[in-house]
Structure 1
Amino acid sequence: MSTDVNTTPKTRRGTAGTARRRLTYPVVLLLLAGGLVLFSLIRVLTGANDLTSSNQFSSALSAAVPIGLAGLGGLWAERAGVVNIGLEGMMMLGTFAAGWAGWQYGPWAAVLAGVVGGALGGLLHALATVTFGVDHIVSGVAINILALGLVRYLAKIWFGADGSEAAKAGGNDKQSPPMDDMPTFTVPGLSDGLHTIEKHHWFVVSDLAGILRAAVHEVSWVTLLTVVLFAGSFFVLWRSSFGLRLRSCGENPTAAESLGVNVYRYKYAALAVSGALAGLGGAFLAIGVHIYQEQQTGGRGYIGLATMIFGNWRPGGVAMGAGLFGFMDALRVVGGGATVHGLLLLAAVLLLALAAWKVRAGLRSGRVQAAVSVVIAALLVIWYALTETVALEFVEMTPYVTTLLVLSLAAQRLRPPRAVGKSYRKGEGV
């Protein structure tokens, strides 16, 4: 009896503490404002003006779109209970289909073809995992290998055949002929006004102007479509009966079937959407450079899977993760070694803040992590003080190092769907 009395209040306090730690919209806005001030301060101290420039954030937005679409595709699949390691292969199918259709019919046909190509890959994954019960990881890896071989073969016979129309138009066995440009979206007047403010390099004000200008100057229509898809995914999955049934398949498919849910149908639908989103991400890559190229996805499907995990299987979290990885990826194009060098100081500040938060939590394991964070922060400060730039090789590694660090820090708060990756056979819930 005494055990129950002593345990219950602790449990309630833990639950209440967890509820208090949930991020609300005012807290999120406050964190964003604090992050902007910190970025501005680092820019002033280091002189790395590209850190908050509109070019940096435009490149980050372009880099975030394919990663975010892949992550959103993974979210749809895993919310229905299916692990989708095959996102990379579905993106490959999307890039190839977009390159083929875009060359012949224009960029909007490339968008549609990319969606169809990715969806076919998703349905193949559904056939293997849902209908035939193949292990999800094995099926996903097989799709990645199959997609790579398939697009290489098709590119060779469709784009690289000697004397063919595609070869005459500039295609070869590693790339498609070029397609037309896709129009971009710009808010007239506002874009120029923000650019004027940005050039003054005022503290916070110019930094905010640079960020906002990236959202209103020469934005791809596929980027705007991506924003709509993220918002739509949230409302479909969390605000509709269809979404409730689909998520129940990822939590407890046996119980869902006992309540009349056709689990197979919902898993197939989720994987078709998952593949279509990944294919759209691949199409975005092909449209951005006007051609399909071999190995064009560059592992973005895997990074998209990492954003899904970092985002705790929620659309908002996936968007935040894609933005972070897109920003780090854009540093390779815009910022270079000097900007990454300035980020060393920013990383040190964030690690010190993490250490303070861990100490405040009062847990023994948190103190160990805080000590490690302080040591790493000190090493970063020393690195920053003794150097003036960062080697190009490290700049190239930045997105992948960020992926590992973010996942390691977020690992303790993750909560995947309960039945994700588990085999299910029809009739178990009857």
Structure 2
Amino acid sequence: MSMVDVQPTAPSGMTMAPPPRKRIIPGWATFALGIVAVVGVLATTSYLTGEPALTSSSTMQNTVTLGLPILLCGLGGIWAERSGMINIGLEGMMILGTWGAAWAGVLGLGPYGSVLFGAVFGALGGLLHAIATVSFGVNHIVSGVAINLLGAGVAKYLSTLIFAPLSDNPRDSPPIERFDTFSAPGLGDWLGELESEQRAVISDVAGLLRGLVTRVSPMLIIGILLVFVTYLVLWHTRFGLRLRSCGENPVAAESLGVNVYLHKYVAVVASGALAGIGGAALVLGSSPSIYSEGQTANRGFIGLAAMIFGNWRPGGTLAGAGLFGYADGLRLSSGPETVHSLLYAAVICAGLLVIWQLFRRKWTTAALAAVGAVAVYVLYYATDELPTQFLPYTPHIITLVVLALAAQRLRPPAADGMPYRRGEGD
């Protein structure tokens, strides 16, 4: 028998896992191609519909401001769920972060103090969630719902107790100091000139880039750094490997000497801290910079959606946060007509999906995508603008649509949400 005829066999009663598929295109290249595709779709839609706000610098600035809290909550979700802990309490932890950030501002600690206090208050919510779920075995969903209710209640009580005498309003805090912004000297003006010329593609790219290099807040730099820190720690350190092993098979991890409880605690507390920083970003990014009751507007849940869209990885979560932040930013920087043009963008995306599925010979999926494209185009052609009552829910609807389309390629951690007690493998 020749060497090529020898096939590896597994011991009796065991099945061998298939070898991991090697990526044809590196992850960074896929991310870059995705950005190019998104810019191309937006530029094409802007040109065909005559809506320059789709790629304006003001829309991009709003996207960054509104997408950053979503990104930070999504990163918090990655930390928790990679360790096997479902954390739907991110919304409550984010609320605690908004209050903590405002309190630090009232104490005169400055914007960096607001970020620190936001992280501490969010981490306290994460610690409570860890105690309930890891130590006492409370169902993750039940504990998360309780954290959301508790976070809103505690913030409301503390606001009435501390902020009401200062602002004469129990629902809001006094204005606090925010970060000074900076712009790239010369580059912003040059990009602004290109944007004002309204040249196809060139002005669209210039507008999007100008939104990224003008009025930049240090909060954005902190958020991007936390994306890289999350990636490096969870995927390129021993600690990260052990933490992720707790989310895949905690019994096996324990048998190899990993302190599963400790790693889960660290992950959930870090998750709460990141959500709290997201709350601080929301406070510091508002105008004026204040804590306001109901300020998070379910962004903690949208952060979870961004995490799922990103397949529990930082780069994908960044893309998801950008998508949802863009939907919200476009609503604020333009009118109903511009948001209505997103239907045309959806038609283009569906058309590209049809071509891709035909290339892969997925005839059924291609047919369904074609039907969807026709239906959306009919809706776009039959209406001039979306009802104003519909606009506040644009990000939520886009969240549902994107998750429905991305559901088939998702792969959560194997033991995500599963109960675990120490010594189960003995």
**TM-score (norm: length of structure 1):** 0.91
> Match for 1:389 among 360, 385, 391?
385
- What is the CA deviation profile of residues 60-90 of structure 1, one whole-angstrom value per residue up to 9, with x for unaligned ones? 1111100000010000000011000100000
Aligned twin of 1:370: 366
Aligned twin of 1:317: 316
Task: Report sequence identity in percent.
Answer: 49
Q: Tell me, what secondary structure is at the counterpart of 2:107?
A: helix
Please say if residues 355 and 370 of structure 1, whose CA atoms lie closer than 8 Å, have aligned partners that are also in contact: yes
Please say if residues 43 and 201 of structure 2, whose CA atoms lie closer than 8 Å, have aligned partners that are also in contact: yes
> Match for 1:221 among 218, 223, 236?
218
Amino acid across the alignment from 1:394 = F
- What is the CA deviation profile of residues 324-383 of structure 1, one whole-angstrom value per residue up to 9, with x for unaligned ones? 0000111210122121122211111111222232333334xxx44433322222122223
1:120 aligns with 2:124: yes
Aligned twin of 1:95: 98
Separation in structure 2 between the aligned mates of residue 112 and residue 30 of structure 1, nearest angstrom: 36
Offset at residue 180 of structure 1 (A): 1.8
Separation in structure 2 between the aligned mates of residue 24 and residue 92 of structure 1, nearest angstrom: 33
1:379 aligns with 2:367: no
Q: 1:220 to 1:171 in 2, by over 3 A?
A: farther
Please say if residues 104 and 179 of structure 1, whose CA atoms lie closer than 8 Å, have aligned partners that are also in contact: no
Aligned twin of 1:46: 49
Separation in structure 2 between the aligned mates of residue 20 and residue 180 of structure 1, nearest angstrom: 47
Separation in structure 1 between the aligned mates of residue 35 and residue 100 of structure 2, nearest angstrom: 38
1:29 aligns with 2:59: no
Separation in structure 1 between the aligned mates of residue 299 and residue 338 of structure 2, nearest angstrom: 23
- What is the CA deviation profile of residues 152-188 of structure 1, one whole-angstrom value per residue up to 9, with x for unaligned ones? 111112122xxx3x2xxx2421111111232113211
Separation in structure 2 between the aligned mates of residue 60 and residue 44 of structure 1, nearest angstrom: 20
Aligned twin of 2:13: none
Separation in structure 2 between the aligned mates of residue 341 and residue 177 of structure 1, nearest angstrom: 37
Where in structure 1 are there 5+ consecutive unaligned residues? 9-13
> Match for 1:56 among 49, 56, 59?
59
1:285 aligns with 2:288: no
Separation in structure 2 between the aligned mates of residue 276 and residue 26 of structure 1, nearest angstrom: 31
Larger CA deviation: 117-126 vs 184-193: 184-193
Offset at residue 36 of structure 1 (A): 2.2
**TM-score (norm: length of structure 2):** 0.91
Paired residues in the alignment total: 410
What do you get for the CA RMSD once the two structures are aligned? 2.1
5 Å-filtered alignment, 1:2-401, equals 19=22, 24-105=27-108, 106-160=110-164, 164=165, 166=166, 170-289=167-286, 290-363=289-362, 367-401=363-397
Larger CA deviation: 139-148 vs 33-42: 33-42
Please say if residues 306 and 320 of structure 2, whose CA atoms lie closer than 8 Å, have aligned partners that are also in contact: yes
- What is the CA deviation profile of residues 126-152 of structure 1, one whole-angstrom value per residue up to 9, with x for unaligned ones? 000001110100000010011111111
Separation in structure 1 between the aligned mates of residue 190 and residue 356 of structure 2, nearest angstrom: 40
Offset at residue 312 of structure 1 (A): 0.5
Offset at residue 101 of structure 1 (A): 1.3
Offset at residue 396 of structure 1 (A): 2.0
Q: Tell me, what secondary structure is at the counterpart of 1:225?
A: helix
Offset at residue 23 of structure 1 (A): 5.7
Higher helix share: 1
Separation in structure 1 between the aligned mates of residue 168 and residue 100 of structure 2, nearest angstrom: 14
Separation in structure 2 between the aligned mates of residue 422 and residue 216 of structure 1, nearest angstrom: 44
Amino acid across the alignment from 2:71 = G
Q: Tell me, what secondary structure is at the counterpart of 1:172?
A: coil
